[in-house]
Amino acid sequence: MDKDFFSPLDAFERKPFRKHYKKDMAQKKAEHIHVYGKENNIICGTDTKGHETPDGRDPLELVVHAPGGRIPLWDQDVTLRWRFQAQSLAVFRDRDEVKEYVRVLLGLGIQLWGDGVPVKFTEVEDNWDFEVVVSPFTDCDDNGCVLASAFFPDAGRHELRLLPTMFQQSAQEQVETMAHELGHIFGLRHFFALVSETILPAETFGTHSKFSIMNYGADSFMTDNDRNDLKSLYEQVWSNGLEEINGTDIVLVRPFSEGIGRSFPFDLAALRAIAARS
């Protein structure tokens, strides 16, 4: 092949990959990451940093994930099927003990949300919706450490990833971190997520104090308002009383495990308009 074929890359002379000096790296990354925890040193691996809501909106509201101009939430009677990723456990001497520990941790994180949890969870070996990955690799910098990462509602397959630094925290911090990541799985963004954010936009629902499991730093802990707002959100959507939030349409999704035929998102407003005409 003619060597000129590769010349467009050669013209860059590797300059695009020059990094900031180490002393500047943490500050540059801090502009994009969400840090929370009592010591303000835990980095969320699921979502980016949020910002105060624009246009004079009250920021004391629960924030809902809204990619592509729609808010995806779980449909009624959804069970998320999960399993451990076997290869991630291969490095541990006692895999069964690791599994049992993570099962208890996941269970406590779910319990922390109380009766506001909108889905059920069941451990399976096949036809899974997400895998729990117990990673042997840390992800730390001067801003802090990533403890875990999760996903938002959709019909795909995903990972709930737990990193080694997670298990070095106190029991309370581990459970609160798990509850934080579960909040993302339920469709929640960070407390001050920008409504007009172009990559991962959000909308707000409900009213509560700034103290929230989805908030920053020392303000990040579970409250009754978190539980009540999440419960109210799903109850209003499932009872046909809530079709949009601040003009953004809500869509209901079914998990991957239920098959392609049932995994497409349901636009509530469109379905009800069709029903009204029939």
Instruction: For 69-125, write each residue's pLDDT tens digit.
Output: 788 999 999 999 999 999 999 999 999 999 999 999 999 999 999 999 999 999 999
Name the domain count of the chain. Answer: 1
Token pair for 97: 């003990």
Least confident among 52-56, 72-76, 272-276: 52-56
Instruction: Give me the chain's average pLDDT, please.
Output: 76
Residue 12 has pLDDT above 90, yes or no: no
Structural domain boundaries enclosing 231 = 58-277
**80 belongs to a structural domain:** yes
CATH of the domain at 258: 3.40.390.10
Q: CA-CA distance, 153 to 71, in Å (whole number)?
A: 9
Q: Which residue has the higher pLDDT, 254 or 209?
A: 254
Phi, psi of 210 (to 5 degrees): -70, -15
Phi, psi of 128 (to 5 degrees): -100, 155
**35 belongs to a structural domain:** no
**4 belongs to a structural domain:** no
CA distances from 17 to 21, 40, 136, 185 (A): 12, 30, 27, 34
Q: CA-CA distance, 96 to 129, in Å (whole number)?
A: 22
Q: CA-CA distance, 84 to 132, in Å (whole number)?
A: 5
Q: How many helices (H) and strands (E) does the chain have?
A: 7, 15
Residue 271 has pLDDT above 60, yes or no: no
**47 belongs to a structural domain:** no
**Which DSSP helix (H) or strand (E) runs through 184?**
helix 171-185
Q: CA-CA distance, 269 to 247, in Å (whole number)?
A: 11
Q: CA-CA distance, 234 to 215, in Å (whole number)?
A: 20
**34 belongs to a structural domain:** no
Q: Which residue has the higher pLDDT, 20 or 254?
A: 254
Is 177 in contact with 156 (CB distance < 8 Å)?
A: no
* The predicted structure's pLDDT at residue 22: 57
- The pTM for the full model equals 0.72
* The predicted structure's pLDDT at residue 20: 54
**190 belongs to a structural domain:** yes
Segment 19-29 shows an average pLDDT of: 54
* The predicted structure's pLDDT at residue 247: 82
Q: Is 260 exposed, middle or buried (0-12, 13-18, 19+ CB in 10 A)?
A: exposed
**105 belongs to a structural domain:** yes
* The predicted structure's pLDDT at residue 131: 97
* The predicted structure's pLDDT at residue 57: 38
**98 belongs to a structural domain:** yes
Is 252 in contact with 73 (CB distance < 8 Å)?
A: yes
Tens-place pLDDT, residues 206-247 = 544 566 777 656 667 888 888 988 999 999 999 977 898 878
Q: CA-CA distance, 155 to 147, in Å (whole number)?
A: 25
